[in-house]
Amino acid sequence: MAVKNFVLVCGGTACESTKGDEIFKALLKSATKHGIKDDVQIIKTGCFGFCEKGPIVKVLPEEEFYVEVTPEDAEDIIAETVVKGRTVERLAYKDASTKGSVSSEKIKFYQKQYRVVLRNCGLINPEDINEYIARDGYLALEKCLTGELTPDSVIEHLKVSGLRGRGGAGFPTWLKWNFSKNVTADQKYVVCNADEGDPGAYMDRSTCEGDPHSIIEAMAIAGFTCGADTGYIYIRAEYPLAIERLNIAIEQAKEAGLLGDNILGSDFSFNLEIRLGAGAFVCGEETALLASIEGKRGMPIPKPPFPAVKGLWGKPSIINNVETFANIPVILTKGGAWFKSIGTAGSPGTKVFALTGQIENSGLVEVPMGTTLRDIVFDIGGGIKNGRKFKAVQTGGPSGGVITEQFLDTPIDFDTLTSIGSMMGSGGMIVMSEDDCIVDVTKFYLEFCVEESCGKCSPCRIGTKKMHEILEKITSGKGEMDDIQKLKDIGKAMKTASLCGLGQTAANPVLSTLKYFEDEYLEHIQDGKCRAGSCKDLMQYKVVTEKCIGCTVCARKCPVNCIEGERKAPHFIVQEKCVKCGACYEACKFDAITIS
Partner 1 sequence: MAKMTLAQLKALRDETKKDIDRRDTEGKDVMIVVGMGTCGIAAGAKDAISSFIDEIKEHDLTNVTIKQTGCMGLCHSEPTVDVKAPGMPDTIYGNVTAELAKEIIVKHVIGKELISKHVLDRPASDIMKEQN
Ligand X SMILES: Cc1cc2nc3c(=O)[nH]c(=O)nc-3n(C[C@H](O)[C@H](O)[C@H](O)COP(=O)(O)O)c2cc1C
The residue count for binding ligand FES (CB under 6 A) is 12
- Contact at 8 Å (CB) between 47 and 206? yes
Task: Look at strands 390-395 and 428-433 and give their pairing.
Answer: antiparallel
Q: Provide, for the chain, the percentages of residues in helix, strand and coil under a 3-state DSSP scheme, each rounded to the nearest 5.
A: 45, 15, 40
| Minimum CB distance to partner 1, residue 252 (Å) | 7
Instruction: Verify binding: residue 131, partner 1, rule CB under 8 A.
Output: yes
Count the alpha carbons within 13 Å of 150 in the hemisphere toward its beta carbon: 2
- Alpha carbon distance 334, 348 (integer Å): 14
Instruction: Verify binding: residue 8, partner 1, rule CB under 8 A.
Output: yes
- Alpha carbon distance 243, 320 (integer Å): 18
Of residues 1-30, those binding ligand FES (CB under 6 A): 10, 12-15
Instruction: Verify binding: residue 178, ligand X, rule CB under 6 A.
Output: no
- Write the binding mask 127 to 166 for ligand X: x where contact by CB under 6 A, - elsewhere: --------------------------------------xx
DSSP 527: I
Among 6, 171, 268, 585, contact with ligand X (rule: CB under 6 A): 171
Instruction: Verify binding: residue 22, partner 1, rule CB under 8 A.
Output: no
* Residue whose C-alpha is closest to residue 140's, from 393, 334, 356: 334
Taking CA 89 as the corner, what is the angle to CA 86 and CA 90, rounded to the nearest 5 degrees? 140
- Contact at 8 Å (CB) between 6 and 60? yes
Please say which residue, 102 or 264, places its beta carbon nearer to partner 1.
264
Instruction: Verify binding: residue 242, ligand FES, rule CB under 6 A.
Output: no
* Residue whose C-alpha is closest to residue 99's, from 112, 87, 89: 89
The residue count for binding partner 1 (CB under 8 A) is 40
Please say which residue, 85 or 455, places its beta carbon nearer to partner 1.
85
| Sign of the four-CA dihedral 33, 34, 40, 45 | negative
Among 197, 277, 329, 381, contact with ligand X (rule: CB under 6 A): 197
Instruction: Verify binding: residue 351, ligand X, rule CB under 6 A.
Output: no
The entry of partner 1, ligand SF4, ligand FES, none near residue 133 (CB within 5 to 8 angstroms by kind) is partner 1
Instruction: Verify binding: residue 560, ligand SF4, rule CB under 6 A.
Output: yes
Q: What does the buried/exposed string (b/e) look like for 327-363 if buried means 16 or more CB atoms within 10 Å of the residue's CB?
A: bbbbbbbbebebbbebbbeebbbbbbbbbbbbbbbbb
Of residues 223-282, those binding ligand X (CB under 6 A): 281-282
- Contact at 8 Å (CB) between 24 and 44? yes
Instruction: Verify binding: residue 205, ligand X, rule CB under 6 A.
Output: no
- Contact at 8 Å (CB) between 229 and 340? no
- Alpha carbon distance 416, 422 (integer Å): 9
Instruction: Verify binding: residue 500, ligand X, rule CB under 6 A.
Output: yes
Please say which residue, 75 or 136, places its beta carbon nearer to partner 1.
136
Instruction: Verify binding: residue 147, partner 1, rule CB under 8 A.
Output: no
Please say which residue, 73 or 452, places its beta carbon nearer to ligand X.
452
Neighbour tally for 527: CB within 10 Å = 11
The entry of ligand SF4, ligand X, partner 1, none near residue 169 (CB within 5 to 8 angstroms by kind) is ligand X
In the complex, the residues that contact partner 1 under the rule CB under 8 A are: 1-6, 8, 39, 60-63, 83-86, 105, 123-124, 129-131, 133-139, 142, 145-146, 252, 255-258, 264-266
In the complex, the residues that contact ligand FES under the rule CB under 6 A are: 10, 12-15, 47-51, 54, 56
In the complex, the residues that contact ligand SF4 under the rule CB under 6 A are: 282, 300, 453-457, 460-461, 498-500, 502-503, 541, 557-558, 560, 562-563, 573, 578-584
In the complex, the residues that contact ligand X under the rule CB under 6 A are: 165-169, 171, 193, 195-197, 281-282, 284-286, 319-321, 324, 426, 500-502
